[in-house]
Amino acid sequence: MTTTMTQGGHKPALSAAQIWNMSFGFLGIQIGFELQNGNVSRIFQTLGADVGELAILWIAAPMTGLIVQPIIGHLSDKTWGRFGRRRPYFLAGALLASLALFVMPDASALWVAAGMLWVMDASLNVTMEPFRAFVGDNLPDRQRTMGYAMQSFFIGTGAVMAGALPWVMTNWMGLSNVAPAGQIPETVHWSFYIGGAALLAAVAWTVLSTKEYSPQDLARFEAARGAGGSAARDVDERSAAQFTRGGIIWAFAGALIAALVMLARSEARPAFLGTIEVAKDIYVLAALVAGFGVIQLLAGMLRGQGRNESGFMEVVTDLFAMPKTMRQLAVVQFFSWFGMFALWIYGTPGVTEYHFGATDTVSAAYQDGADWWSLMGSVRNGLAAAAALGFVLVAAKIDRCRLHAVNLLLGAAGFAAVLLVRDPALLWIPQIGIGIAWASIVSMPYAILAGCVPQEKMGIYMGVFNIFIVVPQLLASTLLGFLLTNLFAGHPIYAMVIAAVSFVLAAAATFFVTDSDRAEAPALRAEQA
């Protein structure tokens, strides 16, 4: 199943059909994610979960990705066999995720559903992480924007398909979308069954229709590319003392945040906190900060003992030795995803209150608003899929960093327009900018990243890069409520203002990113001529 390569030279370009095949599996992955995102809270509540418990039940998802993706990236970098390097992980993850999708709607108890969420999210991450590295492995840098844009197209298409499944089940197939108390509606059952089958089929198509380069081929391409093509790690390896010092600082900061939250929520509230309201969710932020400190303390202890060969030490070392471009992209990713999570968390309550004048979740106005905003999500994802096709057309002609910055600014304008557009019927207009930005977020940074990391560490760095998606998700879950309460009197629509500002900051940070393609592309074009 390996490819047969010519000796030496740059990595050859692939045809549009080959890029389509290697990206097609992402259609199934996104169907799985979208079914999870759109229906799991509904399943939890049906099985007796209180609204206040949903955040705790859902925290499994980002934490699972935070742990799983770097591990799978590390393992897939070290894997090679008759089935290839990344493809065994595609298939194993798809099988487990499909099984979880089949079982989830039949869960008889809340703890079973929560367990299935863990299995489902972990399995989807096992499948997704190597797909990101797969493009970096197989495509030359000049085609990577096209490759990740194709993944973005399938992300948008899969989201539209999965979002429409329950509606199609009800309106076209006549299945019931209501059920007795404690039971999952028939439409959700069949949506998950169909989604599980589609996930497995799409990933299997990529596994069976694509090939991978052997480690020897990749090493030859890397050597031909030269030192300028793939940035070496430009940060000195951290000593045991540096790890320990950093660990102490981060652990202390986490403990300090937790202590301040405890004081703010106690009866003996100190006067310097004024009227600031602090929710218990901030404890998650404290745990995140302290946890990063504990990881560094453990790394310092292992390095001090000379135990540097473990997978844990390799992952942590690579985290602190990220190439310069990756560190710059991390800032862009942080602000981009913080803005997107503001949309996902507060879009429904914001629109129902601001545009439909409803805060009572059992009222018809609220349900109408929620349904309409859900439809706008399908519009947004459809526009993202169309925008991704546009990226494919312009991929070789436009500077990626500037294109991404423009797309993010369009997204910021879209967020602002959610407030400016008061007629709900016109809410499709903001989705244009947000959809274009979303397509860019899930394609452009990965295309830039793939050109700056060492080929032999493509998997681990794609996994580490996921940290800069998970961390803003966790921070958004803990800080957005605090910001809305204390700055905007608790009105959720103003999360769109926060998102707009966050996107502007991400766009500004993009101009400071060093894209290796800028220097490499002229040389490649000259050589090809």
Give the confidence band of 232 by pLDDT, cuts at 50, 70, 90. Answer: very low
Q: At what angle do helices 110-138 and 16-23 cross, to 10 degrees?
A: 160
Could you tell me which residues come within 8 angstroms of residue 275 by beta carbon, excluding any fewer than 6 positions away?
none
Return the closest-CA partner of residue 129 out of 201, 209, 26.
26
Give the confidence band of 281 by pLDDT, cuts at 50, 70, 90. Answer: low
- State the Cα angle at 136 between 446 and 471, rounded to 5°: 35
Q: At what angle do helices 186-209 and 141-171 cross, to 10 degrees?
A: 150
| Percent residues over pLDDT 90 in the chain | 32
Residue 294 burial class via C-beta count within 10 angstroms: exposed 0-12, middle 13-18, buried 19 and up: middle
Please give the average per-residue pLDDT across 305-325, as a whole number. Answer: 86
**Confidence check: pLDDT of 306 > 60:** yes
Please list the alpha-helical segments (H only) found in 172-185: none
**Confidence check: pLDDT of 229 > 50:** no
Return the closest-CA partner of residue 31 out of 152, 134, 165.
165
3-state secondary structure 129-164: HHHHHHHHHHCCHHHHHHHHHHHHHHHHHHHHHHHH
Distance CA 134, CA 469 (A): 19
Lowest mean pLDDT among 2-11, 13-22, 355-364, 481-490: 2-11
Which residue matches tokens 């074009």? 525
Could you tell me which residues come within 8 angstroms of residue 375 by beta carbon, excluding any fewer than 6 positions away?
none
Which tokens is 227 given?
């030192």
Which residues are paired to 456 by β-bridges?
none
Contact 369, 355 (CB under 8 A): yes
Q: What is the pLDDT of residue 5?
A: 43
Q: What is the pLDDT of residue 399?
A: 84
Nearest-Å Rg of the Cα atoms of the chain is 23
Q: Answer with the residue of higher pLDDT: 398 or 61.
A: 398
pLDDT per position as a tens digit, 350-383: 888 898 888 776 677 776 777 788 788 888 989 9
Which residue matches tokens 């229709």? 209
Q: What is the pLDDT of residue 6?
A: 44
pLDDT per position as a tens digit, 154-186: 988 998 888 778 777 777 888 776 667 777 778
**Confidence check: pLDDT of 443 > 70:** yes
- Indicate the SS3 state at residue 233: coil
pLDDT per position as a tens digit, 476-492: 777 777 788 888 888 88
Distance CA 209, CA 25 (A): 11
Q: What is the pLDDT of residue 348?
A: 80
Distance CA 476, CA 484 (A): 11
**Confidence check: pLDDT of 245 > 70:** yes
Give the confidence band of 19 by pLDDT, cuts at 50, 70, 90. Answer: very high
**Confidence check: pLDDT of 3 > 50:** no
Q: What is the pLDDT of residue 9?
A: 60
Distance CA 439, CA 388 (A): 6
Q: What is the pLDDT of residue 294?
A: 94
Q: What is the pLDDT of residue 392?
A: 78
Contact 469, 280 (CB under 8 A): no
pLDDT per position as a tens digit, 65-96: 778 888 888 888 888 888 888 999 999 999 99
Contact 198, 28 (CB under 8 A): yes
Contact 337, 473 (CB under 8 A): yes
What's the gap between Cα 520 and its chain centre? 28
pLDDT per position as a tens digit, 335-348: 999 999 888 878 88
Q: What is the pLDDT of residue 53?
A: 58
Please give the average per-residue pLDDT across 411-435, as a whole number. Answer: 94
Q: What is the pLDDT of residue 202?
A: 96
Q: What is the pLDDT of residue 524?
A: 38
Prediction pTM value: 0.80
Distance CA 127, CA 23 (A): 12
**Confidence check: pLDDT of 60 > 70:** no
- State the Cα angle at 412 between 406 and 418, rounded to 5°: 140
